[in-house]
Amino acid sequence: MKAWPKVALGDLFDVEKGKVGIMAATPGGFPLVTTGEDFASHFEPHFSGDAVCIPLISATGHGHASLKRLHHIQGEFAVGSILCACINRASERVLARYAYYYLTACKDGVLIPLMQGTANMSMKVTDIVGVEIPLPPLPEQQAIVARLDALAEKTRQVEAHLDAVERDAEHLLALRFRDAVADAPLRSMAEVAPLVRREQSIDLEGSYPELGIRSFGKGTFHKPPLSGSEVGTKRLYRIEPGDLLFSNVFAWEGAIAIAKPEDAGRYGSHRFITCHANTELTTAEFLRYYFLTDEGLLKIGDASPGGAGRNRTLGLDKLMAIEVPMPSLAVQQTFDRLQAEIAALKAKHTAIREANAALIPAMLERVFGVEPTGARQ
């Protein structure tokens, strides 16, 4: 980065704290800047102009200082009370979007050190006023912004293309499943994927890594291990790869998964329902897909009597009584191959998304060089 003169934000921007509690906002016709990626709305604007919005509180809390994102906004808008708005009052000297890109690139060096506190770290508007930014001539700012905006648009187009391909793939999968189950006979879960319980004897000196299930069909995750003394009198059940798993309290919202090879050696509590597919009749992958369809979730919901909050307990007998469509095993296996191909496609897309997401930070680092530190006192 060239040796451009540094100027304090307070000499270029009016810096004001947001005026509306995000949870108390009244939806309306004006954008409401929050700490989230997308704007909310509010019925009235509190600010007008070309601005950079900066969160005042740490994104992570628990004594750790961090900022996830800043925002650039133009026009009339409202800002949440846990952010501040830096409104450009020197448009002949600075572009707010240039300042946004600089502060995004260098937030770890110029903003995060301003955060103070213990449990909930935050910074003051008066500190932000003193943050200095390098100020090249306006034409050079315009050139920098144009380069970064062009790259941002290309990354957005890549994301949009990947999203469209995945939507088409999911639509194809749904059509193939509809064809697969058309006129297929119904058979009970007790017949095609009976309940399996592998109770583990507990050694007080032992260690028992647990497995969790994410809602909305998002798969399994690993929990920290429990010591035998922590398990106490509770029961644990061994899980094996290929098991069809249900959370007995959240299955109704899609907490349904298949244990992966890397899940071997883990345990589930009594809240886990473990089923083993009869390989002469069905596959766990086919059943999982069915139970995550609208029809399958409806049957799971009917088998899960309501309780307090989100907890609705899936009954074992009711699960075993659910009838599922059973096309031939060959048809199911063909469908599973398509599922696997689409999963592989999504895995490739994940790698592309990660590389795509790294482009803007890499360009910011190239443009602005080493992150400056400190603020004008």
d(CA 232, CA 144): 62
Q: What is the pLDDT of residue 55?
A: 95
* Phi, psi for residue 332 in degrees, rounded to 5: -60, -45
pLDDT at position 371 is 43
Per-residue pLDDT of the chain (377 residues; tens, 9 = 90+): 568 999 999 999 999 999 999 888 999 999 999 999 999 999 999 999 999 999 999 988 677 888 999 999 999 999 999 999 999 999 999 999 999 999 999 999 999 999 998 778 899 999 999 999 999 999 999 999 999 999 999 999 999 999 999 999 999 999 999 999 999 999 999 999 999 999 999 988 899 999 999 999 999 999 999 999 898 888 999 999 999 999 999 999 999 999 999 999 999 988 899 999 999 999 999 999 999 999 999 999 999 987 655 678 999 999 999 999 999 999 999 999 999 999 999 999 999 999 999 999 899 888 887 443 333 33
Q: What is the DSSP string of 350-375?
A: HHHHHHHHHHHHHHHHHHH-SPP---
Global pTM value: 0.80
The β-bridge partners of 19 are none
Report the pLDDT value the prediction gives residue 374, as an integer from 0 to 100: 36
**Half-sphere exposure of 255 toward its Cβ, with a 13 Å CA cutoff?**
25
Q: Where are the beta strands (DSSP E) in the chain?
A: 6-8, 13-17, 30-33, 40-42, 47-55, 71-79, 83-88, 132-134, 186-188, 199-200, 207-213, 220-227, 236-238, 244-247, 256-258, 267-268, 272-275, 323-325
For every residue of 224-236, DSSP letters joined together read EEEEHHHHTT--E
**Phi and psi torsions of 337, nearest 5°:** -65, -40
Of 18, 49, 16, nearest to 35 by C-alpha is: 18
- In order of their start, the domains of the chain are 6-136 (3.90.220.20), 186-326 (3.90.220.20)
Cα dist from 333 to 37, 212, 242, 359, 371, whole Å:
40, 27, 15, 40, 54
Q: What is the pLDDT of residue 307?
A: 63
pLDDT of residue 212: 93
Q: Whole-angstrom Cα distance, residue 290 to residue 279?
A: 16
